[in-house]
């Protein structure tokens, strides 16, 4: 009898567990595909990346309000039917979510905490979710995130996902804890820098590296998916910024190594096309050789094929290497390759190549030749 009772209880337990998680899976799957959770999105920073990200938000059906210090670009968007505001604070008043895409840490700090910033009147702000997609240092990210967490919401949001309210009919503690975690008591900030460059921003195929509370990341995913193909949760506040800095360090070093190898090959009598074929079918293969080749004439559709115009400017790479160096110094990490890459890209900028794509080191530092 005791054995039969235990078997019955076990079966019932399995049924309940499957019912709960099956129900949750269906509800959260449907809600993750529903971009109606947030409809009013503010966007600040309409440069080469931001302007294209806004276009994809509009295509996805979001009601977008924009701001930029460049009035001409704001006018371009208003002529497309997109609302524009004079200050970040005004954008915040119209938005449930605000995304920033700005050049540097100081710009982000000013937009959040400066005169007419997003956190003006910080006792109560309207946006429940603030997403910074700028490439800045993790320390600044964490300072701003703390400032955001000290604010209150003008209007408390009941839940990260409206359909989650349906789960209340399931009387299990695990469900209750999920619903409680979804309550918007305070505004939340995510750091979500991107990789992929202008072409990926245009195509909506960016990769987002996200730091911050995981439940906020889940809530933000439909918005991120409208602008990118991939989003990766990296952990707590500042970890998205840390991931981006490390990614760009690896990108700089691999570009320098690829450029040096291709230029050396030319000096040794091997054509860049031939050596590229060798690299891309051997252990030397990397993104810089097979997707973003630095030798003019080897690959179509990349900056090297258009005199290094467009793409990722050398001055931005220099900035990101400075961020990596500062972060490494703060944690006492030895990084000799950061120092060498910094030196090279600083030289590129000083010699007048700051607006050229960072792959121009092949021509202007290593004196590599165009492929005929």
Domain count, the chain: 2
Q: If you ran DSSP here, which 8-state letter would residue 104 be given?
A: S
Same domain? For 292 and 335 the reply is yes
pLDDT score recorded for residue 157:
57
* Structure tokens given for 358: 């960072």
Give the whole-angstrom CA distance, residue 271 versus residue 363.
Answer: 15
Same domain? For 209 and 90 the reply is yes
pLDDT score recorded for residue 166:
39
The angle at the Cα of 322, spanning 259 to 50, to the nearest 5 degrees, equals 85
Same domain? For 231 and 274 the reply is no
pLDDT score recorded for residue 109:
97
172-196: burial string, b at 16+ Cβ within 10 Å, e else: eeebeebbeebebeebbbbbbbbbb
Same domain? For 99 and 214 the reply is yes
pLDDT score recorded for residue 201:
95
Q: Is residue 77 part of a domain?
A: yes
Same domain? For 211 and 122 the reply is yes
Same domain? For 200 and 308 the reply is no
For residue 314, the domain's CATH number is 1.10.1040.10
Q: Is residue 355 part of a domain?
A: yes
Same domain? For 128 and 196 the reply is yes
Q: Which residues are catalytic?
A: 244
* Residue matched to tokens 């979500």: 192
* Structure tokens given for 24: 């949750």
Domain end (from 170, 203, 236)? 236
pLDDT score recorded for residue 319:
95
Q: pLDDT by residue for the chain (372 residues), tens digit each?
A: 444 444 444 444 444 444 333 433 433 344 444 444 799 999 999 998 999 999 999 999 999 999 999 999 999 999 999 999 999 999 999 999 999 999 999 999 999 999 999 998 767 899 999 999 999 999 999 999 999 999 999 876 554 443 343 333 333 333 333 333 345 679 999 999 999 888 899 999 999 999 999 999 999 999 999 999 999 999 999 999 999 999 999 999 999 999 999 999 999 999 999 999 999 999 999 999 999 999 999 999 999 999 999 889 999 999 999 999 999 999 999 999 999 999 999 999 999 999 999 999 999 999 999 998
* Residue matched to tokens 């490390």: 246
Exposed, middle or buried: residue 279 (CB in 10 Å: 0-12, 13-18, 19+)? buried
For residue 139, the domain's CATH number is 3.40.50.720
Same domain? For 252 and 209 the reply is no
Q: Which of 146, 148, 151, 228 is CA-nearest to residue 193? A: 228
Q: Is residue 348 part of a domain?
A: yes
Same domain? For 286 and 187 the reply is no
Q: Is residue 6 part of a domain?
A: no
pTM of the model: 0.81
Residue 234 dihedral angles phi and psi, to the nearest 5°: -105, -5
Residue-number span of the structural domain to which 49 is assigned? 40-154+181-236
Q: Classify residue 297 as left (phi > 0), alpha (psi -120 to 50) or beta.
A: left
Same domain? For 108 and 59 the reply is yes
Same domain? For 216 and 266 the reply is no
Q: Is residue 21 part of a domain?
A: no
Q: Is residue 271 part of a domain?
A: yes
pLDDT score recorded for residue 19:
39
* Structure tokens given for 286: 């990397």
Rg (CA), the chain: 24
Per DSSP, the residues of 123-180 read TSBS-SEEEE-S---HHHHHHHHHHHHTS-BSS-BS-S-GGGGGGGGS--HHHHHHHH
Same domain? For 250 and 219 the reply is no
Q: Is residue 371 part of a domain?
A: no
């Amino acid at each position: 009898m005791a054995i039969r009772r235990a078997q019955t209880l076990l079966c019932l337990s399995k049924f309940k567990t499957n019912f709960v998680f099956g129900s949750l899976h269906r509800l959260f799957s449907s809600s993750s595909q529903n971009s109606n959770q947030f409809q009013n999105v503010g966007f600040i920073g309409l440069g080469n990346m931001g302007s294209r990200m806004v276009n994809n938000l509009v295509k996805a059906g979001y009601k977008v309000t924009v701001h930029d210090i460049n009035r001409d670009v704001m006018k371009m968007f208003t002529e497309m039917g997109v609302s524009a505001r004079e200050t970040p604070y005004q954008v915040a008043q119209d938005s449930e979510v605000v995304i920033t895409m700005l050049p540097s840490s100081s710009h982000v700090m000013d937009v959040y905490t400066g005169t007419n910033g997003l956190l003006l009147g910080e006792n109560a702000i309207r946006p429940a979710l603030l997403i910074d997609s700028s490439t800045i240092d993790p320390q600044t990210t964490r300072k701003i995130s703390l400032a955001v967490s000290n604010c209150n919401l003008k209007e408390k949001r009941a839940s990260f996902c409206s359909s989650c309210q349906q789960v209340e009919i399931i009387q299990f503690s695990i469900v209750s804890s999920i619903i409680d975690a979804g309550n918007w008591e305070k505004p939340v900030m995510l750091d979500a820098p991107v990789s992929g460059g202008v072409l990926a921003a245009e195509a909506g195929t960016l990769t987002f590296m996200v730091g911050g509370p995981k439940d906020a990341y889940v809530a933000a995913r439909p918005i991120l998916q409208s602008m990118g193909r991939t989003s990766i949760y990296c952990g707590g506040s500042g970890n998205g910024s840390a991931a981006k800095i490390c990614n760009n360090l690896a990108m700089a070093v691999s570009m320098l190594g690829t450029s040096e190898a291709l230029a050396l090959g030319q000096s040794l009598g091997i054509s860049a096309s031939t050596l590229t074929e060798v690299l891309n079918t051997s252990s030397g293969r990397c993104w810089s050789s097979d997707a973003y080749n630095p030798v003019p004439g080897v690959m179509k559709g990349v900056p090297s094929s258009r005199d290094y115009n467009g793409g990722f400017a050398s001055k931005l790479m220099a900035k990101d290497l400075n961020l990596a160096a500062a972060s490494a110094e703060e944690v006492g990490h030895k990084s000799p390759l950061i120092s060498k890459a910094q030196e090279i890209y600083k030289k590129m900028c000083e010699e007048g190549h700051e607006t050229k794509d960072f792959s121009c080191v092949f021509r202007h530092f290593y004196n590599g030749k165009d492929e005929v």
